[in-house]
Amino acid sequence: MSDQTALVTGATGLLGRQVVRAFERGKWNVKGTGYSRADGSSILKVDLVNAEQVEAALDNVKPQVVVHCAANRFPDKCDNDPEGTRALNVEATRRLASLCAARGIFLIYISTDYVFPGKPGDAPYEADAKPQPTNLYGQTKLDGEQVVLEEYQRAGKAGLGVVLRVPVLYGDAEVPSESAVNVLMESVWKAQESGAKVKMDHWALRYPTNGKFNITNITTTEDVGRVCYDVSLKYLNTDDPSKLPYILQFSSENKYTKYEICQLFGEIMGLSIAAIEPNTEGNDPNASVQRPYDCHLSTKALKDIGIDVATQDFTGWWRWSVKAFRK
């Protein structure tokens, strides 16, 4: 094993598990933090809003890299618990960044494409485009970005704290609800029930992202894990990381509405989606959570520093995942 160590917050989640695997494949020592699903061994039980627990974990593990995946990332849940969301997405992030910066630890903060307004005609967004979130989730993630950069700047360690924005993710989920993409397979199955009627968004454009196969476009959690590993090596092996970009973005290039993903799943599984009705109305103006139309992220900043932005083939991954090897 390497004498290099990574610590991954939210390591029991959809993305966190793949980030752990990416560093393990690189022969690093890896520890994760979790809460309700922590095993106390490879996954340390750490309440990220508790500064003492976070500090103890850092001093115990002594990582060279921290990848901060933990967040309240479901827009509706964020709206239902604004105080708890801000405590985790912003305040806990600030404390973690401050502690890491003081120790000279390289930190990757996982952010979201929802920092952008996603108005028709605006995308793709470059990393330096002006953020303007449309909902509380996007705002707290943007605030998290800002506190990370502030804390590293304050500590004189600019370049050791970076932001990585990603779109909606899919991958090897323990339960479908871990991913807004995976859960659509469940919707296709529900549509097979007698009398079923499912309304599905056919307005907002999404760029689902995963993988390790480097085939074509769409981002899986495996892809994001690999990028986190590659970025860590790049910044740790650079004499002056402050000369590298502080905000990076990773995304697939293929675009789908949720309804189009259901169509694809129906084709892969040989199932009818006649009971799924496309909804092209867009946001309900009275809804508390307003979702962007198109937040496609440009990957130029990653390409400019030599990071491979290839992503896994969406259809191919799902055929493999559900063992549907049909032509």
Question: Phi and psi (nearest 5°) for 91?
Answer: -65, -45
| Start-to-end Cα distance in the chain | 42
Please state the separation of Cα 293 from the chain's center in Å: 18
Amino acid at 145: E
Strand order from edge to edge, sheet including 43-45: 43-45, 29-34, 5-9, 65-68, 106-112, 161-166, 247-249
Annotated catalytic residue: which of 137, 207, 229, 256?
Answer: 137
Structure tokens at 109: 């903060």
The length of the chain, given as a count of residues = 327
Give the contacts of 37 (CB within 8 A, at least 6 positions apart). 12, 43
Check the CA dihedral 128-133-139-141 and report its sign.
negative
Identify whether 125 is a catalytic site residue: no
Q: How far, in Å, CA of 56 to CA of 204, rounded?
A: 43
> Are the C-beta atoms of 311 and 218 separated by less than 8 Å?
yes
CB 30 within 8 A of CB 24: yes
Half-sphere exposure of 100 (CA within 13 A, CB side): 33
Query: Annotated active-site positions, please?
Result: 137
